Structure 1
Amino acid sequence: MSEEKTLEEVYTDRNLLALAAAEMAVRLHLALGPPESAYFDGGWYRPEADDADAGEWGVVSLETPEGQASWHVPIDLARRSHLTETVPDWDGHTRQVKNDRLRRFTGLDY
């Protein structure tokens, strides 16, 4: 890299990537017919009221053939995105499980 990024810049990049990935999953869901369309979808939701992240954060989630992945992003970004607000549907995955799913989905299963 030619220039160092601030932590805020890194998180901005990460948040936009999470939103873009979820948007692409939604578009795949709409473009594919059954049964393939069932493997892709996305949206965002507000954390449960008793969640420490409620109010300030939204959760962007997407479905892949390997399973669900989700990220907390500032709620104002989620609201302004093209993604539809959905009901909370977190499947209980941990960060490790999410990353394992993403590795398999991208062919980096190690």
Structure 2
Amino acid sequence: MSDRIRLDDLNDDALDKLYARLEVAEAERDTVYRERAHLVAHLAALHPAHIGYTDPNAPDWAVVILETPAGQLSWHIAERDMGLFEHVEPTNRICRTWDGHTTDEKYARLRALTASSHLESDHRCENEGADSVSR
């Protein structure tokens, strides 16, 4: 049986339950965005980057653009996560604008960057072969 509510059956209690479920879903979404923002901020510390409100289709979201050897990468950043990007230069008129890459192209570039970075250095753990791993 579905937990869907028919419009005819929608009352204050049912509406309150829906709002509560929505709040939980939004909190989970915000947590995932925050985790992603931490990783993107780290990438922005490793590569030339700039951040600004440059997307006319999403004016409330900043866009961080990274210039990497594999190509440009960009992500929208929520206002609540901007503190993670204080180390990133603000976008100005001399910054290279978005190159038009798609999300699929961005992640293909990120995979290429990851593969090339792995080839450049030895990423084995110092305790390779240890029985336990600490996290």
Shorter-chain TM-score above 0.5: yes
How far did residue 76 of structure 1 move? 5.1
Residue 52 in 1 paired to residue 57 in 2? Answer: yes
Q: Which residue of 2 aligns with 1:99?
A: 107
For the 8 Å contact 1:59–1:71, the answer to whether it is kept is: yes
The structure having more radius of gyration, on CA atoms, is 2
Question: Take 1:53 and 1:70, find their aligned partners in 2: how far apart are those partners?
Answer: 14
Aligned residue among 81, 88, 91 for 1:86: 91
Counterpart residue identity of residue 105, structure 1? L
Question: Take 2:64 and 2:31, find their aligned partners in 1: how far apart are those partners?
Answer: 19
Residue 11 in 1 paired to residue 11 in 2? Answer: no
Q: Which residue of 1 aligns with 2:65?
A: 61
Q: Deviations over 1:16-51 (max 9, x none)?
A: 2112211221xxxxxxxxxxxxxxx11212114xx1
TM-score (normalizing by structure 2): 0.56
Note the residue ranges of structure 2 that are not aligned, 5 or more in a row: 1-26, 117-135
Counterpart residue identity of residue 62, structure 1? L
- Percent identical pairs in the alignment equals 34
How far did residue 75 of structure 1 move? 3.6
Aligned residues: 86
- Provide the aligned C-alpha RMSD in A: 2.2
TM-score (normalizing by structure 1): 0.68
Note the residue ranges of structure 1 that are not aligned, 5 or more in a row: 26-40
Counterpart residue identity of residue 45, structure 1? G
How far did residue 60 of structure 1 move? 0.8
Runs of 4+ in 1 over 2 A off after TM superposition: 75-80
Counterpart residue identity of residue 17, structure 1? L
Higher normalized contact order (CA 8 Å, seq sep 6+, divided by chain length):
1
Decide which structure has greater strand share.
Answer: 1
